[in-house]
A and B are shown apart, each in its own frame.
Chain A
């Protein structure tokens, strides 16, 4: 009885929130799942039935293993539970196998591993100092933050409907951020190193970690004006950090090095053969670029400036073409995107080095890294926006300006995930959940910062409200118009361009706020 009371007491709102969302995830089990479901089933089969030496060579299914070794080991561990559910799913040749037990197992594996995410959120709530606010529970920054993270719309639909394992990976990232906030730098570094070997997309934010640890951990002291004190450098710290990263990498890549397979592993991890944009354009800079190209080519054709025979027939949004030539503007190469990304990341890194502001500054830099690479990266998935949205939640409860950027970024970023779910039964779910999250996040943050100036100016309000008509047009009006057959790509194009505007704007505002922040001393509190 006592245990029951503790578990359900009014004070224990955190467990209620976590359990509530877990139950919602269980309800989402029968929803649509994408090909990623088959991808992960195939990886279960590969790791279970083949020797390690074959993992990165096996190619029976088109969905080859293209995550780093730790994730492969993770699938290997899962497969040993999976065999009690349904042995058949572990057969490499059983393509597209999805019995109800397989479904149940895979869905539950995501739900259970999310426990790590819940723990990470719990740790984050402990160490994030939000704005001091009213006494009421629903107005406390910790409560708002845990709702924003635990009930995050993007994670819910990407992990529990579309099917992926972002929950526990984001959990690892949040946990390592929390450790850095708690001054447990070694642990933070270790967790991040592990995370990198789970999913290499986190390389995007690695510069932030590297610079922060070097600047604020290896250098133990600052001059009074905040600039670096060179003689305070601690070699012991640097070496122990290096050792941690080295050991984790050795554990992960060592076996493949021993098998002489590293080149093969890397060729799987970094497939540059894919196109600039995914079938559906992620709402980033290149979406705007390609849209501009399209507009220019249409205008060019109208004004007879372009030769119709030279314009490539394949349209970029058709989803069939991996390689794509721009018509008017110069085509983009992987190297160009890499350079753009680096240039976009650099200022934030400089900021982190020359104006260290403790863990908060690190967090801002991390978000900027994630966003910049989302903006300019090669073959970016729309799902990658979560990499920026989740850490941004931590900032949002601190300052009104951050809250405003967070809301624009999150709302547009989440809306841009809509095309992931295109089946009719899931339409109400995505709309309801999106409304739930958006209304809650906007209103609760508005309540939290009600004494300060309004979170949005008229332009931003207008832009965010525009998402409503856009959704109505794309999903309710367009399918009934005659353009549906002639221009089937219009809804996706509109969505991606419209969202790209918002995300670019949020990225720009965040950059401005980071660069224009008063240097050290005054804001340094941690």
Chain B
């Protein structure tokens, strides 16, 4: 590739922005007794390093599960162990059992930030670069621009390098999975995706599209011949990957069950804090959390999630295509985020990743969505004192997208991928030609509300009776946006006629 130097420059810009954001504060900095996610990660290093593997997920005098107990799958635990060995080499105080609790220092922060950068550099960034390089349908310049935009996506940067988490690992594995599956290295793809699930159980949001796409591929090849072989191979790969990751916990039944209980804490309630999903927004009017009994909440959320993702998944199984796959990833993840049980605000990153992938197909809508997704985490970011980097990275991301894809010139029906939808509506309402204009106005309206709400949250004190007024408003507004996007993405999937034979209306 002759333009390799531009690609290098783009990756270096991404890395620089990541590191400069990491100079800022992290979650729970100097806030005893619980601190935040930063302390959680450090605590896991302490636990995995000092305790035998059998005790990692069990409550004991050495492992108080109430204090940031391990609640991620084994791969996260192994990663923590690996980091702990490095930490032990540099300064054993950082991970000493009991005494290191709440340890904070400049050197330790530097170490923790470096671990994130290295993980990112090894897993997520190569996946992004490779994914964009493999895109055949766009020019080299556009590919480089796409890498820039994906790497500058503020949500992931702020959560990983500001708030402190290792989302780039799980998202990176998922991206490797997408890459593999889209380019017919199905086994590698499914292996990578298994690793993603085993790093963070939240990756299950993506599992249905993967399952449907691969199943669809098998169907397409004929279930009696090659398709069946592929299916068996895939099943073996998945089982083997899981066995490998879970080996130490499969020795005893109780171990496995305990890990599962830690991973899926069904007794923790419908949602936590303020999340921009349907349930949290709906609680503004009706406190479902308090009214309905626990098991009903679970059933309702399950039904809603299932119904909302069903159409897209069926369509994908029947007409598997890489493009449909990516859009289904978006809509399924969004369905999970909006309707499922126990959602965190950070889970929106799982939707953002596939949206990043379709950035060049629908630049305008993707940019909009990615801005809203970052905005929806505003209360969290403000709590971590990340206002400045948030605003700056969001502006940088917007400028990068707007300049490299000239998004405002791509708002015709064709470019919004709404052509076939509009045509079929026009059969009934011939004057239905104003959709792009409406969408443009909605965009303006949405951006203005986001800016105003940000300004209000930062400058005004909420009234005493409603201390959470602004964060609830942020979630509510974001939720409305997300519902709109959910409808939009489902329309695209349903009316996508390039690969299906005749566009049919399911919902």
A16 to B152, CA, bound (A): 14
Q: Are A10 and B392 in contact (CB under 8 A)?
A: no
A20 to B10, CA, bound (A): 12
**Residues in A whose Cβ lies below 8 Å from that of B396:** 20, 23-24
> Which of A29, A424, A432 is the most central at the interface, judged by chain B CB atoms within 10 Å of its CB?
A432
A429 to B9, CA, bound (A): 14
Interface contacts (Cβ under 8 Å), in number, total 91
Q: Are B408 and A8 in contact (CB under 8 A)?
A: yes
| B110 CB-CB contact with A under 8 Å | yes
| A341 CB-CB contact with B under 8 Å | no
| B82 CB-CB contact with A under 8 Å | no
Interface residues of A in 406-462 (CB under 8 A from B): 424-425, 428-429, 432-433, 435-436, 439-440, 442-444, 447
Return the chain B residue nearest A19 by Cβ: B399
> Which of B19, B21, B107, B117 is the most central at the interface, judged by chain A CB atoms within 10 Å of its CB?
B19
Q: Are B399 and A16 in contact (CB under 8 A)?
A: yes
Q: Are A24 and B17 in contact (CB under 8 A)?
A: yes
CB proximity of A27 to chain B, nearest CB, Å: 4
Q: Are B20 and A12 in contact (CB under 8 A)?
A: no
Q: Are A444 and B403 in contact (CB under 8 A)?
A: no
**Residues in A whose Cβ lies below 8 Å from that of B110:** 424-425
**Residues in A whose Cβ lies below 8 Å from that of B408:** 1, 4-5, 8-9
CB proximity of A378 to chain B, nearest CB, Å: 36
CB proximity of A482 to chain B, nearest CB, Å: 20
Return the chain A residue nearest B24 by Cβ: A30
| A324 CB-CB contact with B under 8 Å | no
Q: Are B20 and A429 in contact (CB under 8 A)?
A: yes
| A76 CB-CB contact with B under 8 Å | no
Q: Are B399 and A8 in contact (CB under 8 A)?
A: yes
**Residues in A whose Cβ lies below 8 Å from that of B8:** 439
A433 to B16, CA, bound (A): 7
Q: Point out the residue from B2, B21, B402 that lies within 8 Å of A8, measured CB to CB.
A: B402
| B444 CB-CB contact with A under 8 Å | yes
> Which of B2, B396, B403 is the most central at the interface, judged by chain A CB atoms within 10 Å of its CB?
B403
**Residues in B whose Cβ lies below 8 Å from that of A4:** 408
Q: Point out the residue from A23, A136, A138 that lies within 8 Å of B395, measured CB to CB.
A: A23
**Residues in A whose Cβ lies below 8 Å from that of B392:** 23, 26-27
Q: Are A435 and B12 in contact (CB under 8 A)?
A: yes
| B440 CB-CB contact with A under 8 Å | yes
> Which of B9, B21, B106, B110 is the most central at the interface, judged by chain A CB atoms within 10 Å of its CB?
B9
**Residues in A whose Cβ lies below 8 Å from that of B444:** 1
A10 to B405, CA, bound (A): 7
A425-B23, A428-B117 as given contacts; A138 in contact with B403, CB under 8 Å: no
A20 to B16, CA, bound (A): 13
Q: Are A432 and B19 in contact (CB under 8 A)?
A: yes
| B141 CB-CB contact with A under 8 Å | yes
A443 to B5, CA, bound (A): 6
| B388 CB-CB contact with A under 8 Å | yes
**Residues in A whose Cβ lies below 8 Å from that of B245:** none
Q: Are A436 and B9 in contact (CB under 8 A)?
A: yes
Q: Point out the residue from A20, A428, A447 that lies within 8 Å of B400, measured CB to CB.
A: A20
Return the chain A residue nearest B20 by Cβ: A27
Return the chain B residue nearest A5 by Cβ: B408
| A508 CB-CB contact with B under 8 Å | no
Q: Are A12 and B403 in contact (CB under 8 A)?
A: yes
| B483 CB-CB contact with A under 8 Å | no
**Residues in A whose Cβ lies below 8 Å from that of B2:** 447
**Residues in A whose Cβ lies below 8 Å from that of B24:** 30
CB proximity of B140 to chain A, nearest CB, Å: 10
Q: Are B403 and A8 in contact (CB under 8 A)?
A: yes
Q: Point out the residue from B15, B141, B399, B406 that lies within 8 Å of A20, measured CB to CB.
A: B399
Q: Are B20 and A28 in contact (CB under 8 A)?
A: yes
Q: Mark A337-354, 1 if CB is under 8 A from B, else 0.
A: 000000000000000000
| A31 CB-CB contact with B under 8 Å | yes
**Residues in A whose Cβ lies below 8 Å from that of B409:** 5, 9-10
A5-B409, A429-B20 as given contacts; A440 in contact with B5, CB under 8 Å: yes
**Residues in A whose Cβ lies below 8 Å from that of B16:** 24, 429, 432-433, 436
Q: Point out the residue from A8, A13, A136, A429 that lies within 8 Å of B19, measured CB to CB.
A: A429
Return the chain A residue nearest B22 by Cβ: A425
A426 to B432, CA, bound (A): 56
**Residues in A whose Cβ lies below 8 Å from that of B3:** 138
CB proximity of B58 to chain A, nearest CB, Å: 38
A25 to B395, CA, bound (A): 13
> Which of B107, B389, B402, B404 is the most central at the interface, judged by chain A CB atoms within 10 Å of its CB?
B402
Q: Are A27 and B12 in contact (CB under 8 A)?
A: no
| B6 CB-CB contact with A under 8 Å | yes
Q: Are B20 and A24 in contact (CB under 8 A)?
A: yes
| B13 CB-CB contact with A under 8 Å | yes
Q: Are B20 and A31 in contact (CB under 8 A)?
A: yes
CB proximity of A7 to chain B, nearest CB, Å: 8
Return the chain A residue nearest B444 by Cβ: A1
**Residues in B whose Cβ lies below 8 Å from that of A442:** 5
Q: Mark A472-512, 1 if CB is under 8 A from B, else 0.
A: 00000000000000000000000000000000000000000
Q: Are A436 and B13 in contact (CB under 8 A)?
A: yes
Q: Are A432 and B403 in contact (CB under 8 A)?
A: no
A457 to B337, CA, bound (A): 58
A28 to B22, CA, bound (A): 11
Q: Mark B391-417, 1 if CB is under 8 A from A, else 0.
A: 011011001101110111100000000
Q: Are A432 and B5 in contact (CB under 8 A)?
A: no
A435 to B6, CA, bound (A): 12
A5 to B444, CA, bound (A): 12
A12 to B110, CA, bound (A): 38
Q: Are A30 and B23 in contact (CB under 8 A)?
A: yes
Q: Are A428 and B403 in contact (CB under 8 A)?
A: no
A428 to B121, CA, bound (A): 13
Return the chain A residue nearest B404 by Cβ: A10
CB proximity of B487 to chain A, nearest CB, Å: 24
CB proximity of B433 to chain A, nearest CB, Å: 19
Return the chain A residue nearest B447 by Cβ: A4
**Residues in B whose Cβ lies below 8 Å from that of A429:** 16, 19-20
CB proximity of A426 to chain B, nearest CB, Å: 9
**Residues in A whose Cβ lies below 8 Å from that of B5:** 439-440, 442-444, 447
Q: Are A440 and B403 in contact (CB under 8 A)?
A: no
**Residues in A whose Cβ lies below 8 Å from that of B19:** 428-429, 432
A20 to B13, CA, bound (A): 10
**Residues in A whose Cβ lies below 8 Å from that of B117:** 428
**Residues in B whose Cβ lies below 8 Å from that of A1:** 408, 440, 444
Interface residues of B in 366-408 (CB under 8 A from A): 388-389, 392-393, 395-396, 399-400, 402-404, 406-408
A30-B23, A428-B117 as given contacts; A16 in contact with B15, CB under 8 Å: no
**Residues in A whose Cβ lies below 8 Å from that of B400:** 16, 20
**Residues in B whose Cβ lies below 8 Å from that of A13:** 403
Q: Are A9 and B406 in contact (CB under 8 A)?
A: yes
A16 to B5, CA, bound (A): 19
A425 to B105, CA, bound (A): 13
Return the chain B residue nearest A4 by Cβ: B408
A16-B403, A432-B15 as given contacts; A27 in contact with B6, CB under 8 Å: no
**Residues in B whose Cβ lies below 8 Å from that of A20:** 396, 399-400
A4 to B393, CA, bound (A): 18
Return the chain A residue nearest B21 by Cβ: A27
List of 6 A-B pairs having minimum Cβ-Cβ separation, nearest first: A443-B5, A8-B402, A27-B20, A16-B403, A436-B12, A10-B406
Q: List 6 A-B contacts (CB under 8 A).
A: A4-B408, A8-B403, A13-B403, A424-B107, A429-B20, A440-B9
B interface residues (Cβ-Cβ under 8 A, vs A):
2-3, 5-6, 8-9, 12-13, 15-17, 19-21, 23-24, 106-107, 110, 117, 141, 388-389, 392-393, 395-396, 399-400, 402-404, 406-409, 440, 444
Known: A8-B402, A439-B5, A439-B12. 10 other contacts (CB 8 A): A1-B440, A10-B409, A20-B399, A23-B392, A27-B389, A30-B20, A138-B6, A425-B106, A429-B20, A432-B16
